[in-house]
Amino acid sequence: MYNIVRGSKLSQISDKYNQPGIKNLLGQATTEEQVCIDGVGHYQHFQGGSIYWSPATGAHEIHGAINAK
C-alpha cells in the first residue's frame, strides 16, 4: 500500500483524493506520488485511475477509457 503525500504544496493530490466520492472511485494508491517528465507536474496512480496535478490546472482525476490510453 502506498501513502498519499501530505503536508507539501503538492498535497492537492491528497485533497482531490479525499473529496467526496473520489476515494471510492479510485480505490487504493498503487504508486507513490511521481514527478512528470516536465519536472513540474505530479501524478499518482490508483486501482481505478490516476490523479494528475500541475500549477496551471490543479489536481484532476482521470479514470475509465481515457485512463486506459
Q: Is residue 1 part of a domain?
A: no
Please determine, for residue 1, whether its predicted confidence score (pLDDT) is greater than 50: no
Structural domain of 21: 9-68
Residue 9 CA to residue 13 CA, distance in Å, equals: 10
Domain count, the chain: 1
Q: Is residue 2 part of a domain?
A: no
pTM: 0.82
Q: Which of 40-44, 48-52, 62-66 has the lowest mean pLDDT?
A: 62-66
Contact 30, 45 (CB under 8 A): yes
Confidence band of 11 (pLDDT split at 50, 70, 90): confident
- Tell me what the mean pLDDT of segment 36-47 comes to: 92
Q: Is residue 3 part of a domain?
A: no
Determine the pLDDT at residue 10. 53
The mean of the pLDDT values for the chain is 84
Residue 6 CA to residue 13 CA, distance in Å, equals: 9
